[in-house]
A and B are shown apart, each in its own frame.
Chain A
Amino acid sequence: MKCFQCKEKAIIELQHGPVCKTHFIHYFEEKVFKTIQKYQLLEPNDKICVACSGGKDSQTVLYLVKKYLQIHHQDTKNLKVLAIDEGIKNYRSTTLKDLKKFCKEQQVELKILEAKKELKYTLDRALASLKKKGKQEKPCHICGVWRRYLINKGARELKCTKLITGHNLDDEAQAVVMNIFKANTSLSAHLGPISGIKDHELFVRRVKPLYFCPEKEVRLYSILKKFPVQFVECPYAEEGYRAAIRDMLNDFENKYKGTKQGIISSFLQILPLIKEKEIQTNTKPLRQCKICQEPANQEICHACRILGDLHGK
């Protein structure tokens, strides 16, 4: 199969035709840069924090945000990388090793926040402790709460005005479908290329430059750019509900090209309505957790409630 633009050997068939390595890289980068511009994900004076796990998505988004800043003659000294070490033996150390190597290559400052230091527990120890107490918590649930908590805290401590994540089109399409299937549409108010409360002293707004990039394209780009990404499986990885949605969407995409893009295009049309409804229904002001002073929907934030369970309160 030949590239429809230059007749070189194609490496992937996109919706508009097969493309070679050079034209794929150009197409992919342009898509990310256009997303940043169209949704105003970055502004000239932004101090940027890229939340990185060390995987393909975070390395790709870090590389491209840096490239975007360079193209637009903006200071890359305003670019920081934040990683969370949840304390998962035989897993996080591998991805962090890749990330340290990548940040050194890219000459960007890396800050690692450890759950062990910040929350006094590793995820491994927390899960073992909860199990002893007869409390069954899903590892991904605790990990997700702690990661979001530490990422926001870390980005704010770095005095950053934007928090970049490596969420891709597949992640977002899965979340949209999951929220519909579980009748949690209000949760979708927090999705979209840019989310979070604007001009709030406790929150750093989150942006997703890979919003329109299918996961397969991100992996392909990371392979072509030879980013140091190893496949390591988290010992707590579950083939749960999200994995079932992912497989279903991949089956559909394989049969009907453009399915995931269709979900996102439709979602973006109704997102303003979902956000408006959320503002009208959820009138409770954002609080500060009375234990840690971090933002919370209730008197005590979710991360501290988990710690409370661990302390037996």
Chain B
Amino acid sequence: MEITVHLEKESTTQKINFKGKNVEQLLQQLKLNPEAIIVTRNEEILTEEELLKNKDNLTILSVVSGG
């Protein structure tokens, strides 16, 4: 499935060809530590177990501040 991911820290948006099912697997594919980020979809907070759908639009927020 195709997932659009906006990364807050990098200020980039990319389309991902995702073969998994849930947020946890997406983070593994993106090599992101769940401790350091928060995933949202339409401003709704997602847990790692949340199932993803084709054409989902996600924002990955950074837990760490920029200072």
Q: Are B38 and A231 in contact (CB under 8 A)?
A: no
B38 lies within 8 A of A219 (CB): yes
**A216 touching B66, Cβ below 8 Å:** no
Please give me the residue from chain A that is nearest to B9 by CB atom: A231
| Segment 9-56 of B: residues with Cβ below 8 Å from A | 9, 33-36, 38, 40, 45, 47-50
Q: Is the CB of B35 within 8 A of A254?
A: yes
Is there contact, CB below 8 Å, between A237 and B67?
A: yes
Minimum Cβ distance to chain A for residue B67 (Å):
5
Q: In the complex, which residues 220-239 of chain A have their Cβ closer than 8 Å to any Cβ of chain B?
A: 220, 223-224, 231-234, 237
B2 at the A interface (CB under 8 A): no
Question: How far, in angstroms, from A309 to B53 measured CA to CA in the complex?
Answer: 59
Contact flags (1/0) for B53-67 with A, using CB distance below 8 Å? Answer: 000000001111111
**Do A231 and B8 touch (CB < 8 A)?**
yes
Contact check, B38 vs A220: say whether CB atoms are below 8 A apart.
yes
Are A18 and B38 in contact (CB-based, < 8 A)? no
Number of interface residues of B (CB under 8 A): 20
* Beta-carbon contact of A233 and B66 below 8 Å: yes
Chain A residues near B63: list those with CB within 8 A: 215-216, 219
Contacts of B50 in A (CB 8 A): 1
A1 and B61 contacting across the interface, CB-CB below 8 Å: no
Contacts of B48 in A (CB 8 A): 13
- Interface of chain A: mostly helix, strand, loop or mixed: helix
Q: Which residues of A contact B (CB under 8 A)?
A: 1, 10-13, 18, 21, 53, 55-57, 95, 215-216, 219-220, 223-224, 231-234, 237, 246-247, 250-251, 253-254
Neighbouring A residues of B35 by C-beta, 8 Å: 216, 250-251, 253-254
List residues of chain A with CB within 8 A of the CB of B66. 231-234, 237
Closest Cβ of chain B to A150, distance in Å, is 15
Contact present for A216 and B38 (CB under 8 Å): yes
Pick the most buried of B49, B61, B62, B66: most chain A CB atoms within 10 A of its CB: B66
What are 13 residue pairs bridging A and B, where the CB atoms are less than 8 Å apart in the complex? A10-B47, A13-B48, A53-B67, A215-B63, A216-B63, A219-B63, A231-B65, A233-B9, A247-B33, A250-B33, A250-B35, A251-B33, A254-B33
Task: Check if B45 sits within 8 Å of A12, measured CB to CB.
Answer: yes
- The answer to whether A250 touches B36 (Cβ under 8 A) is yes
- Nearest chain-B residue to A20 (Cβ)? B45
Query: Would B47 and A1 count as touching, CB distance under 8 A?
Result: yes
Q: Report Cα–Cα, A219/B66, bound state, in Å.
A: 13
Name the residue on B nearest A226 (C-beta): B43
Interface core residue of B34, B36, B38, B65 (most chain A CB under 10 Å): B65
**CB-defined contacts of A215 to chain B, threshold 8 Å:** 63-64
